[in-house]
Chains A and B, each alone.
Chain A
């Protein structure tokens, strides 16, 4: 398998990480060597194996849906790179 520049551009778009041409080439090289290494899994026949999604073999506990932290709006907004008192601010999305 080979990951070409077109695929890198596609993954970069899905990941929301902008990548210039030079970086894209480097990434293609890195990802190809990593996937060569990952391909080893194809040696194994796994048709009848159940996938393991969690090692913790317990059923999730239920709890009541209660608000535990109150009046922390200010604290939360404080970490925002740009805020307008009660709101997070982002670049304009509607013309």
Chain B
């Protein structure tokens, strides 16, 4: 039984379809491992009893035509799950039980998967290390006291630690790709409009996207195929022809033109990252693709733009937490006092900081100087990508400027924490798809990722490039199960 959790999603699906394994076998195995892995703090809410019931029910009348037949899966606690507590990592939603299901999770259950539980994340997905969660930080299975990245830190930790065969995260500025890079896993941020935002606790609505986090590219493609649907309940959902990503997956990328942007060679970037990038360039060449030096001149303006746009949208989205209709309420002497105390006690420090930045940049007298300015620069950043995509099919960059750091290392300096997302943020601002794949280790043995950025709606292409590179890289995650006593 013990080797069940070592299997990839694709292997598990095959074994359930061949009746070599039952959903109950698989679900039990992941529950047992999750039970032994409490020290990782990957879960906020466990739903194991109900998961096992659902698995038994599935086995009584298995529908083996489904894409995820009887597969247990834990998901980031930012997705509303009907009748299962959804906290967004915040005290203010500590007791919130949604009355409806997010479209993305609905799609997953429709294909036969079973909810294992809800995974830890930075509060309202605001963070790069999972340290802003009200439910405590998450351990990276790679090493003790190492952050798993964020905001989808619990998701990354759970996939790398094999507590779930696969999962979903959300990515507003890098929250899928950065933790994937920190944990040696694969993470895809789809094109804006590809996956419905309905039922996902909102952070920054013009940037938020849900996406798969997996052990390998093929699994990632399969989950993307399931979660990406047009949804009339999300006004920014886009009705385009979606590929059968896993079926159409190919390692043939001969003749593809891959751009190497010089602006991603940032000051102070460790040599290990530069070396990894060079290796990546060699890998894509070995696969028959051609690399072309390109320029994305406004790259260094992406983070400052993001730290206006995202907090502005967040301050507006989070205005709904007033202690009246749901969530935490503090006692107040009058209505206004109740609002102010509820929000002061209910939100953590990082969330309050971002609400305040957002409120300020939207406030009277500052709107043009900050918010409008940022929207204009956002246009320039998008134009950069539009321009290079006349010449190239995809772009190859490092995923992060460093490997995972220690818990507590960056908590006192918000700007140094924000710099983590320097390579991922431009992709969200331009609404493009990006995938991070594990590509090597640094001298400490920590994983490092490479990012492939695609044209809008061209997920298939970046999945193919990632698939071809994955074969060449032959990455093996170094996980010792140190947390299992």
Contact = CB atoms under 8 A, between A and B. Distances in A.
Interface of A: 3, 7-8, 11-12, 14-19, 27, 30-31, 33-34, 37-44, 46, 49-56, 58, 60-61, 63, 69, 72, 75-76, 78-82, 88, 90-93
B45 interface: no
Contact of B341 (A18, A31, A39, A75): A18
B327 interface: yes
A91 B378 contact: no
B356 A17 contact: yes
Given A30-B414, A54-B236, A82-B329, A92 B334 contact: yes
Nearest to A1: B369
B292 interface: no
Given A27-B356, A79-B325, A93-B334, A37 B238 contact: no
Contact of B325 (A12, A33, A58, A80): A80
B235 A37 contact: no
Given A80-B326, A91-B335, A14 B97 contact: no
Q: Which 7 pairs across A and B sit closest by C-beta, in order of nearness? A: A55-B431, A51-B375, A79-B326, A81-B329, A18-B340, A52-B379, A46-B376
A5 B95 CA distance: 34
A16 B468 CA distance: 51
A75 B325 CA distance: 11
Given A14-B363, A17-B343, A30-B414, A53 B356 contact: no
**Which of A18, A76, A78 has the most CB atoms of chain B within a 10 A radius of its CB?**
A18
B404 to A, nearest CB: 23
Contact of B343 (A15, A44, A51, A61): A15
Contacts of B338: 90-91
Given A15-B343, A61-B235, A88-B325, A50 B379 contact: yes
B377 interface: yes
B425 to A, nearest CB: 13
B50 interface: no
Contacts of A41: 301, 304-305, 308, 373-374, 377
Contact of B355 (A15, A33, A39, A42): A15
A50 to B, nearest CB: 6
B126 to A, nearest CB: 13
B317 to A, nearest CB: 13
B414 A15 contact: no
Contact of A31 (B97, B343, B347, B353): B353
12 contacts: A3-B360, A11-B363, A15-B356, A17-B352, A18-B344, A34-B357, A37-B418, A40-B304, A50-B379, A56-B238, A60-B235, A80-B326
A31 B301 contact: no
Contacts of B378: 51-52
B415 interface: yes
Contacts of B298: 44
Contacts of B315: 15
Nearest to B306: A38
B362 to A, nearest CB: 9
Nearest to B205: A54
B234 to A, nearest CB: 10
Given A19-B344, A38-B370, A55 B430 contact: yes
Interface string B315-332: 100000011111111001
Contacts of A18: 337, 340-341, 343-344
Contact of A81 (B323, B340, B356): B323
A44 B373 CA distance: 9
